[in-house]
């Protein structure tokens, strides 16, 4: 009798603290670091709570960019094209598009 390897499901094993993937943890940390600049600014004026709230909002935006995917909603034509893709990849693609500034136009040649 032969033995066979059964493939394991590795999905979810790269998660840290159940909700964080490596990418979402990094983007959350970057967002919180950017928010800490505002925290230090508001702390110097004696508004610690406002600084903490802004830092938490930046961390939340970082998490959303790293973890959330755009749902496919049939009613909206935009989500038909980008449905299922992470927000971070869409933002990177937009930045690359704006950076290149190349436009390709295909014309129909008549003979």
CB 85, CB 79: distance < 8 Å: no
Are 20 and 62 contained in the same domain? yes
The pLDDT, as a whole number, for residue 62 is 93
Are 56 and 22 contained in the same domain? yes
Comparing CA positions, the residue from 35, 83, 41 lying closest to residue 61 is 35
111 domain-assigned: yes
Are 59 and 78 contained in the same domain? no
pTM, to two decimals: 0.69
Q: What is the mean pLDDT of the chain?
A: 84
Give the range with max mean pLDDT: 1-15, 30-44, 78-92, 95-109: 30-44
Can you list the alpha helix ranges (DSSP code H) found in the chain?
Answer: 22-44, 48-67, 77-82, 87-100
The pLDDT, as a whole number, for residue 10 is 63
Are 78 and 60 contained in the same domain? no
The pLDDT, as a whole number, for residue 28 is 92
Residue 73 has pLDDT above 70, yes or no: yes
38 domain-assigned: yes
Domain residue limits at 102:
69-111
Cα separation, 61 vs 11, whole angstroms: 24
Number of domains in the chain: 2
Cα separation, 48 vs 42, whole angstroms: 6
The residue among 86 and 109 whose pLDDT is bigger is 86
Are 94 and 106 contained in the same domain? yes
């Amino acid at each position: 009798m032969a033995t066979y390897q059964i493939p394991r499901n590795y999905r979810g094993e790269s998660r840290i603290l159940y909700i964080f993937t490596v990418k979402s943890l990094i983007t959350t940390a970057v967002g919180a670091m950017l928010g800490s600049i505002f925290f230090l600014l508001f702390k110097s004026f004696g508004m610690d709570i406002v600084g903490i709230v802004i830092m938490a909002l930046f961390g939340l935006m970082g998490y959303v960019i790293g973890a959330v995917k755009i749902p496919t909603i049939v009613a909206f034509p935009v989500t038909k094209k980008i449905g299922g893709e992470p927000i971070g990849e869409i933002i990177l693609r937009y930045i690359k598009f704006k950076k290149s500034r190349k436009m390709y136009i295909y014309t129909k040649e008549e003979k």
